[in-house]
Structure 1
């Protein structure tokens, strides 16, 4: 199933120079960079995770990016949400992130959704994207995004960061044999990924996980291997990563095949 955005014009001389360090990589080259230019990424949340993810998607040349966030920039956000500035306190986070992204790369098309979206609207946003990055901080939204991605068969990159603990994985839902978010984290589980206002968060942790989400999204768009079926767990105190493998749950109520 293809969800590609309208193909952008071929890369011009300025773009070839801008992205030359990507193009030098055999795994990317001109074709891969063009694929990024033609791609559409949907990012749910423009906070601690969304900020670095959005800035790297922008700098890497993803041609169309849609940002969803209904919150406004607050002084307490600036400890970790690097897309925002003190001058933009009170501004909607999606709009603030758009300003930062276009300052970095004005050739992008950036759409902003400054509201909480219901299931119907979310389904439409997901179906129009090539990849979705879940950068939110609440359990209910994560499951809603997962359901929409399963229905549209759009890959989902999931990250979480709270206290000193980070999580990262990718659900490549283009293949129905692959697991979804619900296979790994059931809705009846412990919703321990609450807002940073409740638990606190080590500032660079959000940068590490958000940047890694951008890396996974870029690899999906150019056809490189990703973390599908592998959950990365980061202890920010020791900077040690652990990996846990997981499989599709045939009884999963969202993506399962069991009758």
Structure 2
């Protein structure tokens, strides 16, 4: 494998870098990387890794672009609203660097498709926005023995680490148990400053390049924490627990598969709304509900577990903007009302209006 003259010009500033050079650039060209999530963290990862000359990139995300994404998800524009994020990102990356082979997976990752997809990539980047996917990715990377570059953001703070690298610790060595659904807010519930995922996602891309090229000190066994408000950067060391490397399968995640969730599409819901006995529960935030809604009970996902008494035991459809939060709410309600007939709106209100 060699660099073309066009590539030598394109990557000339990297090639001139002391300690990097052509050897490192060829390593980038030969590697394959999967980015799970094309949101706030995924966008800077995708742009910088494509620009740096990674040979093959995979993007998996079943979500659609919405107006509220644009303040932080820098790949997308107004004309992309309503379109699949992974497919739009693929188009953007081709314009950025046609030398990079990009594959889009326009659906969400789950226990069924996780291992078959991950096995085709050398390194995995966790740019997801929920704990279920993070732990699923971690356990799959343990099974397949692949490094996982992790990041998370909350409010004005972000964190980055590298798991399962050179026999180092995993996510479960740092956070042993997956938090219960509904107990911890996501950025839709708690808010996020737009520049933060850009900073943290770029740090993820930096760690990825260091791993591939064999340069610098990797965040292996270290959690880097950045406080944007106070400009504080600190790291916490943690050790591997060998028991967390004994994972053999993803059987414990099977109940999380979307196939186990009853869902309806927008056209079916419009027909069902003619039935006055139908209960609609909108789990978006109050400002989202006020801006546009189809009626029903508004209980944000963040406070749903504490407001179950407001819900009637009758045929119910749960809705949100994209279908992500309603899928989580479905599980919460299904646990508490096992005999209730519950559905969630596939693709959310993005598909309704």
Write the mapping of 1:1-12 to structure 2, written as runs, cut at 5 A: 9-12=1-4
Report the TM-score when normalising by structure 1: 0.90
Moved more, 27-36 or 191-200: 191-200
What SS does structure 2 have at the residue aligned with 1:16?
A: helix
Match of 2:330 in 1: none
Deviation at residue 251 of structure 1 after TM alignment: 3.5
> Which residue does 1:139 correspond to in 2?
131
From 171, 174, 182, the equivalent of 1:184 is 174
* Contact 2:109 2:133 (C-alpha < 8 Å) held by counterparts: no
1:201 shift after superposition: 0.4
Post-superposition offset of 1:195: 2.8
Q: Deviations over 1:77-128 (max 9, x none)?
A: 0010001111111110111111221111111110011112332421122221
Residue 214 of structure 2 is matched in structure 1 by: 223
Could you tell me which residue of structure 2 aligns to residue 108 of structure 1?
100
**C-alpha spacing 1:237/1:92, structure 2 compared with 1 (3 Å):** same
Q: 1:33 aligned to 17, 20, 25, which one?
A: 25
Cα distance in 2 between the residues matched to 1:184 and 1:222: 26
- For the residue of structure 1 that corresponds to 2:243, the secondary structure is coil
User: Is the alpha carbon distance of 1:158 and 1:196 closer, same or farther for their aligned partners in structure 2, counting shifts above 3 Å?
Assistant: same
Distance 2:12 2:67 in 1: 37
Structure with the larger RCO, 1 or 2 (CA within 8 Å, 6+ apart): 1
Post-superposition CA distance 1:41-98 (Å, at most 9, x none): 0000000000001000000000100000000000000010001111111110111111
- Per the alignment, residue 58 of structure 2 pairs with 66
Tell me, which stretches of 5 or more residues in structure 1 are unaligned?
1-8
Given candidates 104, 114, 122, the residue that maps to 2:114 is 122
Structure 2: distance between partners of 1:220 and 1:81: 25
Counterpart pick for 2:36 among 44, 47, 71? 44
1:8-66 deviations in whole A, cap 9, x for unaligned? x4110110110011111232211110110111000000000000010000000001000
Normalising by structure 2, we get a TM-score of 0.67
Superposed displacement of residue 202, structure 1? 0.8
**What displacement does 1:236 show?**
1.2
Task: Give the greater-gyration-radius structure (CA).
Answer: 2
**Is residue 189 of structure 2 the alignment partner of residue 212 of structure 1?**
no
Provide the secondary structure at the position in 1 that maps to 2:103.
strand
Mapped contact 1:147–1:254 kept (Cα < 8 A)? no
Question: Judging changes above 3 Å, is the alpha-carbon distance between structure 1 residues 69 and 188 closer, same or farther for their aligned structure 2 residues?
Answer: closer
Residue-by-residue CA offset, 1:216-235 (whole Å, 9 max, x unaligned): 11111111231101101111
Q: Which moved more, 1:91-100 or 1:246-255?
A: 246-255
| Residue in structure 1 matched with residue 345 of structure 2 by the alignment | none
In 1, the alpha carbon distance for the partners of 2:169 and 2:247 equals: 7
